[in-house]
A and B are shown apart, each in its own frame.
Chain A
Amino acid sequence: MWRRSASFILDKHQNNKPMSLTPSIDSPPPLSASVADENPSPNHISAYYQTRAAHHEIVTSDWLEQAQAAVRRYPDQDSPVSEKPFSVIEEFNKWRQQPALAEAVAAIRALAAVIRASDGNTMMELEIELKKASDTLKAWDTTSISLTAGCDLFMRYVTRTSALEFEDFNSAKSRVLGRAEKFGEISNKARTIIAMLSQDFIFDGCTILVHGFSRVVFEVLKTAAQNKKLFRVLCTEGRPDKTGLLLAKELAKLDVPVKLLIDSAVAYCMDEVDMVFVGADGVVESGGVINMMGTYQIAIVAHSMNKPVYVAAESYKFARLYPLDQKDLEPALRPIDFGVAVPLKVEVERSARDYTPPQFLTLLFTDLGILTPSVVSDELIQLYS
């Protein structure tokens, strides 16, 4: 399994089928609109998890409002006002039409649109404008790690070039724009790259445990199925929003043998599992991941039974956060339906995510390559230096 390096695999795949790098953005997988059908009440609920649970659903009206409010907060009021709402709406539309497009990529697209629409005359103006746009985007949902991280990374990537100061504004702007597009492109392709990288880890006859619905993990499994790999998938139910059910349904469509578990049956089934594949909402600086509630316990169980835990995460999810324990995060809450009425005096833990420390993870599959958890920090340091 470890015989080939990430870059080698990527090269090989690129040589073999060069067209496969740009598939799914324009042709998103047709997800049925009826799975997550209830629209949870939006009051102090993590918008990120809400939209993730129903990423192709009708987007709540308050989000639309927020987006437009964010647009209106731009400094230059005259012409961009008419321009930018359009760009953000466009980004929003893109997102709605393509459930496969991650929030962060959508944000990156929107920021690129900001650059394009900007009518500043100096680099400084452009940078300030960009900063404000990204700040409003971040402020829109503070619980979304990938949104924050994506914006930050975009800012670093776009503005981090020393040559900018010596050029005239127009060429500099076009260069920035080029970088922005490139970054958007890279982020778009990330999922495909990860899917390719992970193929060598999926061997015939293996059993894979997945948790929740992660688009990257789904991409990985789909690619494996397309490559005629024979494997079995155990899907957790993914309470409370039953995202596991969704994944099981999608996999069944691809004729992959799937078994559905309730979340509490993970330890029971672990001995027949060969590897655990999870996605990530965010990868933090320690190398650990923040993911949907339940990932931590799965990782602990897998670790204690010496099963590898692989995390598939795009590099735009790398965040400059360093949680020391579970509570050391901005709380992201979501409604939980227990089926019956919860007695009044009973408290409900509604956190939507948990933090898995790096010592429980085996490898991270990212578009930068296959990394050990400790490399995440190295990458971040180099990026933000």
Chain B
Amino acid sequence: MDARRGPLAVPKVRRVGFFTSIEPSQDSPRPNRSLSGPAEAITTSSSPLSDSPSGQFISPVQIPPLRHRSDNLAAASRAAAPVPVPVPGPSAFRRQLASDRALHVGSYNPVDSLLGTSPPSSNGEVSEDSGSLFGFQRSDSAKLSASFPNGGFDMTMRVRAPQESEAKVVIASTSDGRKKNVEPSGTSEPVAATKPRKEKEQKSLKEKTSKAERRAIQEAQRAAKAAAKGEGSKRAGESSRAKPSKTAKQTQPKKDVPQVTSSLSEKRTVSVEKERRMDVPQAQMQYDDKSRVDKAKRRSVVEQTESKNKVELFLHLPQYERGNQLPNLSSNIFTLDTIHHAVYKVGLQHLAGDLSGDNARCIAMLHAFQEAINDYTTPPMKDLTMDLTGKINGYVSFLIECRPLSMSMGNAIRFLKNQIRKLPVDLSEPEAKASLCSEIGRFIDEKIILADKVIVQHAVTKIRDGEVLLTYGFSCVVEMILLYAHEIGRKFRVVVVDSRPNLEGQKLLRRLVARGLDCTYTHINAVSYIMGEVTRVFLGASSIFSNGTLYSKVGTACVAMVANAFSVPVIVCCEAYKFHERVLLDSICSNELGDPDAIANVPLRTNTKHAKTMDNNKNLQFLNLMYDSTPAEYISMIVTDYGMIPPTSIPVIVREYRREDLLL
């Protein structure tokens, strides 16, 4: 294959007839395909040529004219037509080869015809058409052999190989040769390409109509094709499921596709995605995925304005400006009927930032669900399990709109859904509701409140007299530990490290000082200074992942790493319900963006001029990350409700204990 490919790649042949310039003409298919070719024919990824370095180059000569494609049916007449080529012999030869090569033909000929002032319906079309044919074939074969990049290429080569000998004959009588040429290329075309070809023919028949009409036709064809494929997929089941999605994907990124098309294809995408979502566990929404974001927006209750200057690396995260939608939401609290008022309240609290701390948020959410379940009545002709799950899903998506869920809330929701699913069928509605509410209550008591008490009991054994404990931000478990240790008479000092913009540490500091603890307060900037005198670091957690990665308030990783450098043991206090079976490697994939204004605006410095320049600067982006991840090697110990464990044992806890809650 490669041996045969060599001559193909040599630009010498192609240069002969047309170009006096030294520029290689390899790039020629590109303009053609992107301009006159239909959207389906363009498979950017599958064309090896366009990937070649020279493929980027577009010769000024080759800017193809806007012309119509002639029909394939007129092939016979076309063959007889004279060849209006300025350069006689070699160009014919070249065209021969080019039409064999199929891909290049189409692109050269328009130029040719432009230069040679040939009418649009003249032989220029022959090669163009066959080019488009091959374009189709290529795309198809590329689809078939998506794994190897040269798939499409090989196909054209196979076509070309037997014809090369004919080419010499062609030089003598061009018209004859042309005829010969067209036919073998047609016959050697694989079966897979026949269907698209027919479509092409139909299309090209009406090509002379206006642009809008053409588009409408394209539209209709595509829809028909999709429908056929959809039916096929329904019949064939899973095997063909990938296909419609593929076409949808192909059409989507095209900018010049008319609006109707995009909406249609979007619909298709939606249906496919819905289908896909059924069997795949719910993934996090990627906010750089345009269509899904649009769809989500249409359904959303909360009107959100997107922030202006987004940071490139975090485009996949939801980025909305906080706060401005609050008055609007709180005003229509009485008009909204889809969301239970308790859930609505919690959502507003999340939105306004009144609730902070993972446990508090989780408990508030669960209480709201409890209330909602209490007020719930199954609609007639509906199943409680199904309907309630749907209701809960609606609540959850509302909460997500208000603020992205934390990992622990996700776990709690999973627990609740499993409880709903596990409900015995023969249970009456009040019984089912009561059992669900009691299960939620049990979850709160056992997994959060009791767990915290156990953690405090464990962690206190690690606090000895005369120690200096460092904590970062605000964690209610750490606060409980410190207060309890003080209560039982341990003598120790606390360093509270804090960071802008939330300054949560001040809350902790206030509470500790009020209870008479000896405290030092500093910002994270000074952590490397203060670490020298610290003997233990206590950290809270938002979640801990299976590989032991700690996911916590931003800045935690910094504190843990500094502590590690000073060989101070880092103790992480985390309830086991926050453990997550996923693996996290960096802070980018899953994170939450806070209000960018929070870091832009410094309180006490009300320089309006300064703020204004900051606001309107296109080159300035504010990144207010909420979380970061700390690798397991910086964590000495995790205190959880199942005891003190090393970070390597998280999967064991998840495996041994989560099963009973989730899988049963």
Give Cα A322–Cα B572 distance, bound, in whole angstroms.
13
Contact of B646 among A286, A384, A385 (CB under 8 A): A286
> Is B652 within 8 A of A286, CB to CB?
no
> Is B644 within 8 A of A374, CB to CB?
no
Provide the A350-367 mask, 1 if CB < 8 A to any CB of B, else 0. 000000001000000000
> Is A324 within 8 A of B571, CB to CB?
yes
B300, CB-defined interface residue at 8 Å = no
Nearest CB on B from A222, distance (A): 33
> Is B656 within 8 A of A385, CB to CB?
yes
Decide: A374 near B656, CB < 8 A? Known: A320-B643, A324-B571. Answer: no
> Is A377 within 8 A of B657, CB to CB?
no
A255, CB-defined interface residue at 8 Å = no
> Is A381 within 8 A of B644, CB to CB?
no
> Is A378 within 8 A of B569, CB to CB?
no
> Is A381 within 8 A of B649, CB to CB?
yes
A-B contact pairs, 17 of them (CB 8 A): A285-B643, A285-B645, A287-B648, A320-B643, A322-B645, A324-B462, A327-B464, A358-B646, A377-B646, A378-B652, A381-B645, A381-B649, A381-B652, A381-B656, A384-B643, A385-B656, A385-B657
Q: Which of B455-480 contact A (CB under 8 A)?
A: 462, 464
Q: Which of A328-385 contact B (CB under 8 A)?
A: 328, 358, 374, 377-378, 381-382, 384-385
Residue of B nearest to A322 (CB): B644
Q: Contacts of A285 on B, CB cut-off 8 Å? A: 643-646
Give the interface size class of chain A.
10 to 19
Q: Contacts of A377 on B, CB cut-off 8 Å? A: 645-646, 648-649, 652
Give residues in A with beta carbon < 8 Å to B: 285-287, 320, 322, 324-325, 327-328, 358, 374, 377-378, 381-382, 384-385
Residue of B nearest to A324 (CB): B569
B653, CB-defined interface residue at 8 Å = yes
- Interface of chain B, main secondary structure: mixed
> Is B637 within 8 A of A324, CB to CB?
yes
Residue of B nearest to A375 (CB): B648
Q: Which of B640-664 contact A (CB under 8 A)?
A: 642-646, 648-649, 652-653, 656-657
Give Cα A365–Cα B320 distance, bound, in whole angstroms.
55
Give Cα A281–Cα B515 distance, bound, in whole angstroms.
42
> Is A374 within 8 A of B569, CB to CB?
no
Decide: A286 near B656, CB < 8 A? Known: A374-B646, A381-B642. Answer: no
In the complex, the number of residue pairs spanning A and B with C-beta atoms less than 8 Å apart equals 49
B69, CB-defined interface residue at 8 Å = no
Q: Contacts of B646 on A, CB cut-off 8 Å? A: 285-287, 322, 358, 374, 377
B536, CB-defined interface residue at 8 Å = yes
Sorted from nearest, which 10 A-B pairs have the closest CB atoms?
Answer: A374-B648, A322-B644, A324-B569, A377-B649, A378-B652, A286-B646, A381-B652, A377-B646, A377-B645, A385-B656
Residue of A nearest to B657 (CB): A385
> Is B536 within 8 A of A324, CB to CB?
yes
B499, CB-defined interface residue at 8 Å = no
Q: Contacts of A328 on B, CB cut-off 8 Å? A: 462, 464
Q: Contacts of B653 on A, CB cut-off 8 Å? A: 381
Nearest CB on B from A372, distance (A): 9
Give Cα A339–Cα B645 distance, bound, in whole angstroms.
43
Nearest CB on B from A31, distance (A): 37
Q: Contacts of A286 on B, CB cut-off 8 Å? A: 636-637, 646
Give Cα A385–Cα B645 distance, bound, in whole angstroms.
13
Decide: A325 near B569, CB < 8 A? Known: A286-B637, A381-B642, A385-B656. Answer: yes
Give Cα A312–Cα B211 distance, bound, in whole angstroms.
82
Q: Which of B122-179 contact A (CB under 8 A)?
A: none
Nearest CB on A from B179, distance (A): 70
Q: Contacts of A374 on B, CB cut-off 8 Å? A: 646, 648-649
Given contacts A328-B464, A381-B653, 20 further A-B contacts (CB under 8 A): A285-B644, A285-B645, A286-B636, A286-B637, A286-B646, A287-B648, A322-B637, A324-B569, A324-B571, A324-B636, A325-B569, A327-B464, A358-B646, A377-B652, A378-B649, A378-B652, A381-B645, A381-B649, A381-B652, A384-B643
Q: Contacts of B644 on A, CB cut-off 8 Å? A: 285, 322
Q: Contacts of A378 on B, CB cut-off 8 Å? A: 648-649, 652
